[in-house]
Amino acid sequence: MENQNDINFRRITRAIEYIYTHFREQPHLDRIASEVNLSPFHFQRMFSEWAGVGPKKFLQYITVEYAKKMLKEHNATLLDTTVETGLSGTSRLHDLFIHIEGMTPGEYKNGGENLMIHYRFAESPFGTILIASTPKGICHLAFADDKILGLDTLKENFPKADFRHKSESIHQHALSFFERNRKEFLPVKLHVKGTGFQLKIWEALLKIPKGHLSTYGEIAAFVRQPKASRAVGSAIGDNPVAFLIPCHRVILSSGIIGHYHWGNARKTAMIGWEAVQTTR
């Protein structure tokens, strides 16, 4: 049975899709509320509880102009600026607390044989998620609008692993990254399977500050593969750990949001939600 959190987020994503499509018209609250079959009062309250600001304010964070503004604010690329400053002071972000450990070639080739994977479902501001871990760290985090399909996908990624529905402390550590306005984060280790190139791209994504955006071209330049934007896009799309490895912070150079594995409305919601947390 669908829980209330998923029902509310589905309404929010519908509203965000509408806002993003019609932002040039600056739609009023009544008009947006009618699109999700809610009264303006109830929609305002539900949206504010989710985002921490009202839909009118949120609109400012998710327009194409906002994305372009974020990208044009830096003379250097965003990633270069991040590395040079060390994310000091208020810009020090939780991404640096995440450490990636690639699976060994043997683990990569044998589909997780001899690996014990513990998993659980949990709620996030962006809908139900499936999170899983090995003894070395988080190996999977994905949005699971359909829990059965979500679990099937996890098992397809590790066809020879042993699975157990069990909550681990590392799961809770990872889930803390979804908490609004949280300042301190416990270290989280990631244990993911990928090629050397993919791991390099995912490590680059971790350097994009919360509330900021980068482009596929910038990521390619950062890993010294300036002509490999297409390969970079594929590696970003293969990210096995949603949100923690922030592939949602990469957009097209035109400022358009671009494709997202778990839905463009969800990607837009993440960008706006994070912008709200870092600019208020």
Give the catalytic positions in this structure. Answer: 247
For 87: left if phi > 0, alpha if psi spans -120 to 50, otherwise beta; the answer is: left
At residue 119, the 3 state secondary structure works out as strand
Residue with tokens 């609008």: 145
The angle formed by the CA atoms of residues 194, 200 and 203, to the nearest 5 degrees, is: 100
Q: Nearest to residue 273, comparing CAs of 40, 27, 77, 9?
A: 9
The CA distance from 14 to 7, in Å, is 11
Strand partners, 137: 134
Q: Calculate helix-pair angle for 55-62, 264-279, nearest 10 degrees.
A: 110
Tell which residue, 146, 225, 158, has the closest CA to residue 191. Answer: 158
